[in-house]
Chains A and B, each alone.
Chain A
Amino acid sequence: MTEQVYYEDIEVGSEIPALVKYPTTMQLVKFAGASGDYYQIHYDKDFAIANGLPGIIVHGWLALSFLGQMVTDWLGQEGTLLKLSGSYRGMNNVHEDVICNGKVTRKYEEDGKNLARVEFWAENPAGEKTVTGNAVVSLPSR
């Protein structure tokens, strides 16, 4: 595990460690089973193409799960995720990297808590932002 991040360690503009995931068709099938989302565009290539898609595409919720992992990995055991939002703007194709990045855009105290807002995004290998969103977290103080 990485070292615990503290409120005093961050400032607006601080980047959080990136995460790169490589979803396979098998992973999408597992996610379909685990989430109950059996829409065929996520595992049936013929169906996806007949629906005007380039091929099998990654569930939006799965891409958001990668972003969620990036944030909770960074938060460590003592940080708490309060809000997570994602907007699905483009497609992540199966068998392509999903590149997750994020940075702190606000740092503030509210109701005795040390809070930070993180803007994040996922990109495909073409450099297109496929998911954009943000998280609100509370961090421990030193």
Chain B
Amino acid sequence: MRPAPFDLVTPSTLDEALVALRDGDDVRALAGGQSLIALMNLRFAVPGSLVDLGQVNELARVEDHDDFVRIGAMATQAVVHRHPVVAARAPLVAEALGHVGHWQIRTRGTIGGNLAHGDPASELPAVMLALAGVYQARSAGGSRSIAADDFNLGPYSTALAEGELLVAVDVPHGSPAEATAIIEITRLAGAYAMAGAAVWCRLNGNVVTACRIALFAAGSRAIRVAAAEAAIQDTELDDSAIAAAADATSASVSPPGDVHVTADQRRHLLSVVVARALRVVRQRAEVQTR
């Protein structure tokens, strides 16, 4: 099918875009279009007007700050995937992007478009949770920061208000005392994950002093699993601690089933990806401290 009729505005500055988003009737921001245009082709989305951000170059920057990387909302997934600053400062973001769609999607798909879409099966919201990233939002009336824990409200639902635009995300710099990993299970390359986990750990020697374990494709939104985090806290990430984290995961999630996996299978797969991700973290931590 093809999209229903709509009005199109193409601003060249952020301020123009914010005014258009404030004043538009039934308006949506168009980033890379790799989700929105697909939904419009299927007529699941029928917006009255679109504000195309493709000419707003100031939104496409990747900037290294003192202790975080600021990734502009319109930076494409392909650029960020291969960006040297991201690889050095926030390797989990680059690793996750290898799982997002296909190369042919990532060339146009953007960081901001993915995150503002709020797909519960997307890798990036879970990466934001694992890294304690910060969402930067702007509207014609002002700006605010939103913590990753507060951003995703439900399926395709975020804390962004009407007329508010996600302009960037801030990802804290990693350090040699930290290790991260992302693992997902899919039926074929580039397909939606059936279960996935993104993990961040800070270690003192071999001992986990802080950690965040986030799941995606686990239900209505990306979530952290406090019980699994507690299971590895102050441990040396030995096999029994990892098994305890996996058990805590399956005990604390209640995911839905779908045509590919039943709810019980998904609960099992979520415990599997948590265990696999923690084993990768352990291996990477050993290499980094060697």
Chains A and B belong together in one complex: no
User: Which residues on A are within 8 Å of B, measured CB to CB?
Assistant: none
